[in-house]
Chains A and B, each alone.
Chain A
Amino acid sequence: MKALKFVLTLIPFVWTIAAIPFVNTVKPIVLGLPFLAFWLVAGIFVAFVCLSIVYKIDTKNSNG
């Protein structure tokens, strides 16, 4: 569980920071946004999903 939490915490940082050199383009325009902006907006959802799972794990632990 601890390892899983660590990975889930790391994913948003890799998505948003480490990926920057590879997503620094304007085209293709996705959902009306330049690709770089689209990637960073997607990162917001990634952070939300990862934190939701971490929260689930934590609440399960405190109940059990």
Chain B
Amino acid sequence: MSNEFLALGIIFIFIFVTTIVGMLPGMKEKLNLEGWAIGGREFGRWLSWFILAGEIYTAFAFLGASGWAYARGGPTFYILGYGALAYVVGYYLLPKISPIGRKFSLMTQPDLVQHIYDSKLLGILVAIIGVLFLLPYLQLQLTGLGIIIQTCSYGLITKVPAMLIAFTLVAIFVYLSGLKGVASTAVIKDVVMIVAVVFFGLYLPFHFFGSVGNMFEALEAAKPGFLALPGGTKVLDVSWVMSTLVLTSLGFYMWPHFSANSFSAKSPEVLRHNAVFLPLYQICLLFPMLIGFTALLIIPGLSNPDMSFMLMVQKVFPGWALGLVGGAGALACMIPASDLILNTSMIFTRNIYCRGFNPNADHTHQKFVARIIVFIVTATALCLAIFAPNLLVNLLLIGYSGVTQFFPMIVLGLFWKRATKIASFCGLIVGETLVVYLTFSKLDPLAIFGLHLNAGFAALMVNLIIFVVISILTSNNDNIVAKEKRLSAS
């Protein structure tokens, strides 16, 4: 059989088997809204681990990290740093959110914000912003899936049909399976992914250079300084990496889907225990980078660096092996995409549609609307991917800058009794305005006082200052007492 059919065939077997596994929990019992959206709040250690860890191995880790290593060099290593720090933040944050969610029946991040500040309007604002910034992250996953199908077909299927195929698969998957399906298939995805990236990440440098060290020596000889900061760029220097590490480690759990994922845990203890071990998982992100660096020496001059992983495998291995990698990669795009779509549609339904237009909708109606929104959200991300294509890492960083602006409002809101509603509005609006302004006027990274700061970081600092000052000015005893009452989960 020819290579392209072999490769595509294997990918579809992967996707088919996973979809069946994902559908099983939904077929055994009739899922209500809570069961579909947050797994009925009964995930133990393992499912909780995989739903939290499942967000690490996305299309970005797989294709974007190798693409960045290929194009930029040293700055890529920031990816190794932020995950472990994010889990340190998560260790304190998630166990605090989870019991409040259980006690007050919260399902989404805007639910949480609305509850902390007792403000419907703030909840709606957070919902709108959350949906807007989830879209580029979702676009990233669909673009990744498109790249994989395109490469595995050896050019037989072009980008747009590839993404249309990807879109259909993902939307059907979420519609049928809900969060429990996402979690149980994340188990398959993570195991396959780890085997694939560790094998190829070590095999390729050994195959061409004899060892990982030799590969790096050769790269350093060919391009001196490429592996330190600012690597192959002019502006991604020490100050950029430091500010990006702050932004991404604080922003990690501000992604709206993580609130829902922490609501799905059976107990805060589950979340605490998993946070301890999650940092180690982060080491797996090193392997795609090794492939990107090897590719730079072996196949220089690629027009799309995000394709370096797939093209290296295509160069060295026959079609069936490319199919295995493609299958693993397809899952790495599909599972996180499903989680994102599920949450986007939940936020849209509960926090924009119901709060804004139809407050009396019962759970059955909400579930019906949420399932329709699944297709609308996916189609929107698909249009973005086709008409506004972007490098994977740019999509990731735009999303991060946006969602991290929630940090003062949510984290200080939970841990600092003087945080107020008015301060949240002001900080959030100023923060998001700055992010949008800096990003679209190409001021990211922001050159200031001889430093290159991540624009999202600069916006976060302004946001934080405004939030703290206005909170101090506007808090009074009455609202401190009322807020403490809302936040006590016992």
In angstroms, Cα B82 to Cα A17, docked, is 9
| Shortest Cβ distance from A8 into B: residue | B88
With a CB–CB cut-off of 8 A, which chain A residues contact B217? 29
In angstroms, Cα B282 to Cα A17, docked, is 16
With a CB–CB cut-off of 8 A, which chain A residues contact B282? 44
In angstroms, Cα B211 to Cα A37, docked, is 16
In angstroms, Cα B91 to Cα A52, docked, is 11
With contact pairs A40-B81, A51-B91 given, residues A33 and B216 touching in the complex (Cβ less than 8 Å):
yes
Q: How large is the interface on B (under 10, 10 to 19, 20 to 34, 35 or more residues)?
A: 35 or more
With a CB–CB cut-off of 8 A, which chain B residues contact A36? 74, 77, 227-229
Contact between chains at A55 and B272 (CB < 8 Å): yes
In angstroms, Cα B245 to Cα A48, docked, is 17
A-B pair number, CB within 8 angstroms: 112
Contact between chains at B276 and A17 (CB < 8 Å): no
With a CB–CB cut-off of 8 A, which chain B residues contact A37? 77, 80, 227, 286, 289
B489 to chain A, nearest CB (A): 15
B283 interfacial contact with A, CB 8 Å: yes
Give residues of chain B (38-82) contacting chain A, Cβ–Cβ below 8 Å. 74, 77-78, 80-81
0 or 1 for each of A5-40: is its CB under 8 Å from B? (1 = yes)? 000010011001110110011110101111111001
- DSSP majority for the A interface? helix
0 or 1 for each of A35-60: is its CB under 8 Å from B? (1 = yes)? 11100110111111011101100100
Contact between chains at B277 and A21 (CB < 8 Å): no
Contact between chains at B279 and A17 (CB < 8 Å): no
B160 interfacial contact with A, CB 8 Å: no
B85 interfacial contact with A, CB 8 Å: yes
B356 interfacial contact with A, CB 8 Å: no
In angstroms, Cα B134 to Cα A43, docked, is 29
Q: How large is the interface on A (under 10, 10 to 19, 20 to 34, 35 or more residues)?
A: 20 to 34
In angstroms, Cα B48 to Cα A37, docked, is 29
Contact between chains at A43 and B84 (CB < 8 Å): yes
Contact between chains at A51 and B74 (CB < 8 Å): no
| Shortest Cβ distance from A16 into B: residue | B81
In angstroms, Cα B230 to Cα A24, docked, is 9
Contact among A17, A26, A43 for B227, CB-based, below 8 A: A26
In angstroms, Cα B241 to Cα A17, docked, is 8
With contact pairs A17-B246, A51-B88 given, residues A40 and B272 touching in the complex (Cβ less than 8 Å):
no
A-B contact pairs, 28 of them (CB 8 A): A13-B85, A20-B245, A21-B238, A24-B238, A26-B224, A26-B227, A32-B211, A33-B212, A34-B227, A36-B74, A37-B80, A37-B227, A40-B80, A41-B80, A44-B80, A44-B280, A45-B280, A47-B85, A47-B87, A48-B276, A48-B277, A48-B279, A50-B88, A51-B88, A51-B275, A55-B273, A55-B276, A58-B272
6 nearest interchain CB pairs?
A32-B213, A47-B84, A32-B212, A34-B227, A40-B80, A47-B279
Mark A residues whose CB is within 8 Å of B. Answer: 9, 12-13, 16-18, 20-21, 24-27, 29, 31-37, 40-41, 43-48, 50-52, 54-55, 58
- Can you add 18 more A-B contacts, CB < 8 Å, to A13-B249, A37-B80, A52-B276? A16-B81, A16-B245, A17-B81, A17-B242, A18-B242, A20-B229, A26-B228, A32-B216, A33-B212, A33-B216, A33-B286, A36-B227, A45-B279, A47-B84, A47-B87, A51-B91, A51-B279, A55-B91
